[in-house]
Structures are given as structure tokens and as C-alpha cells.
Amino acid sequence: EPEVTQTPSHQVTQMGQEVILRCVPISNHLYFYWYRQILGQKVEFLVSFYNNEISEKSEIFDDQFSVERPDGSNFTLKIRSTKLEDSAMYFCASSEWASGYNEQFFGPGTRLTVL
Amino acid sequence: KNQVEQSPQSLIILEGKNCTLQCNYTVSPFSNLRWYKQDTGRGPVSLTIMTFSENTKSNGRYTATLDADTKQSSLHITASQLSDSASYICVVSQRGTDKLIFGTGTRLQVFP
């Protein structure tokens, strides 16, 4: 069964460093998303991406964040200068169509720890 | 403010027993409501998706209900199994946006 994959599973970085989190969405999906979950808190929407551009972003997704689909399979989230409060689980998701009634399939997540 | 609230926060039941989890939402305009299961350290997995016009939807031992008038939903788990131990998250989609609005989840533990 096709699934969303994410690498690495755990990333430890120093405050101020850049990190890139990688995702491989399900191959025939066209819509991609990033969410984050701070330990003990709700999952929060960060950004949605379609047709090589951001379609929607939350207030969390400031200038320190960027997303890219560098090739036909990968979808990345870059944090330019990490802060302690960026420590969280980051989930990538993909869907065949726009969210609406369409199911979003989530990856296993990348745990980011900022020291 | 668009919010999704769940109760109880946590629940312990014995294997084989049934349980019901509750969800209230204030998301508007409403598009659909989903229940996800999230194992510790893993991504959420969809159990059911319901639109405004659907009152009940089942997926195996999971049955979700939706009352769009009172903005309430429930997830009923029948004949619980040890593998049902997880967080169950109520998620609402707002019409006209891509984002999903997540509740805080109910942490279910099933003991033998």
C-alpha cells in the first residue's frame, strides 16, 4: 500500500542552524501539506502546496520557513534559523485532490530537537 | 474562533469493552469532520470522514456520529482490543480552506 515517507526520523540541531526536512508523498498525489505537533499539544497546520506554489499558510509559517518540491518526488520544509520553540514533530501529508472531502495521508513524522 | 474540543482527555478501559469519545466544534463554515487514530510517535491515520449530511459512518469496530446542528460528534469503539490503545483525534475541515483543525485528542488505553 502506498505511503508517505519522511526523513530523517529524528533531527537534532543547534539553535540558529538551518534544517531541511524531507518528505516523499504518495506518487499520484497533487496536494502536499506540512503540520507540526509540539509535545503534548495539538497538531497544527503550517502550509499547503499545489502546482509548485504555496496555496495556503498559517500564521506560524513565517519568513523562517520555506517549502519546495525540488524534483518529481520530494517535498521539503526548510527552517532557515532554528529556534528552541521549533522543537516539535513535523508531519508531511499528501492528498489526491484539494483537502475538501479528500483524505490526507500522513507520514510518520520527523522529530526535530533544537538545542 | 475555530476550535475543536474533545472529551475525555484520557480513558482507560478493559479489553473487550466498548467506549465512546466526544467531540465538539465551533468551526465555520463547516466542510467535513474526520476522526484519526494516532499511535505514539506516528502520524495520524484516518478512520472516518463525514460531511454535513452524514449522521453515521462505520469503519469496522469504529462508528462515528455527527450532529451538524449541535456541532457534536462521537466515536464509538466496539469490543476494544489492545491495539486500540492510541490517541483519537477529532479533526474538522473548514470550507474554502486547505487546513485541517485538530482537537487535542483523547488518549485511550486498553488493558487486558
Q: What is the mean pLDDT of chain A?
A: 93
Q: Which residue has the higher pLDDT, B25 or A101?
A: B25
With beta carbons less than 8 A apart as the criterion, state whether A20 and A11 touch.
no
3-state secondary structure of B84: helix
Instruction: Determine whether the interchain pair A101/B98 forms a contact, defined as Cβ–Cβ distance below 8 Å.
Output: no
Model pLDDT for residues A14-60, shown as the tens digit of each residue: 999 999 999 999 998 999 999 999 998 999 999 999 989 999 999 99
Which residue does chain A place closest to B35, by CA atoms?
A103
Cα–Cα distance measured from residue B3 to residue B103, given in angstroms and rounded to the nearest whole number: 7
A27-31, A32-36, A61-65, A94-98: least confidently modelled range: A94-98
| Residue B92 scores a pLDDT above 80 | yes
The nearest CA of chain A is from the CA of B89 a distance in Å of 9
For residues A114 and A100, what is the distance between their CA atoms, to the nearest angstrom?
Answer: 34
Question: Residue A95 — pLDDT band, cuts 50, 70, 90?
Answer: very high
Least confident of A89-93, A97-101, A104-108, B66-70: A97-101
Whether the Cβ atoms of residue B76 and residue B19 lie closer than 8 Å to each other: yes
Task: Tell me which chain B residue has its CA closest to the CA of residue A54.
Answer: B98
* Nearest residue to B109 via CA among B20, B33, B10: B10
Query: Closest Cα of chain A to B4: distance in Å?
Result: 10
Cell of A84: 528552541
Q: In the prediction, which pLDDT does A67 show?
A: 97
Q: Average of pLDDT values for B33-40?
A: 94
Range in A41-55, A98-112, B55-69, B84-98 with the lowest mean pLDDT: A98-112
* Predicted local confidence at residue A100, as pLDDT: 67
Distance between CA B35 and CA B84 in Å, rounded? 14
Answer whether A42 sits within 8 Å of B105, measured CB to CB: yes
Is pLDDT above 90 for A101? no
- Nearest Cα of chain B lies from the Cα of A7 at a distance, in angstroms, of 13
- Mean pLDDT, to the nearest integer, of A78-105? 90
CA distances (Å), A66 to each of A34, A82, A83, in order?
Answer: 11, 12, 15
As a whole number of angstroms, the distance between CA B12 and CA B82 comes to: 11
Task: Please state, rounded to an integer, the average pLDDT across all residues of chain B.
Answer: 94
Provide, rounded to the nearest whole percent, the portion of chain A with pLDDT above 90: 81
CA distances in angstroms from B41 to B12, B21, B96, B105, listed in the order given = 20, 21, 31, 14
Return the exposure string of A4-16: e unless at least 16 CB atoms fall within 10 Å of the residue's CB, then b: bebeeeebebeee
Among A43, A105, A111, beta carbon nearest to B102: A43
Confidence of residue A99 (pLDDT cuts 50, 70, 90): low
B3: Cβ–Cβ under 8 A, 6 or more apart, which residues?
A: B25, B26, B27, B101
Q: Is A40 at the interface with chain B, CB within 8 A?
A: no
Is A18 at the interface with chain B, CB within 8 A?
Answer: no
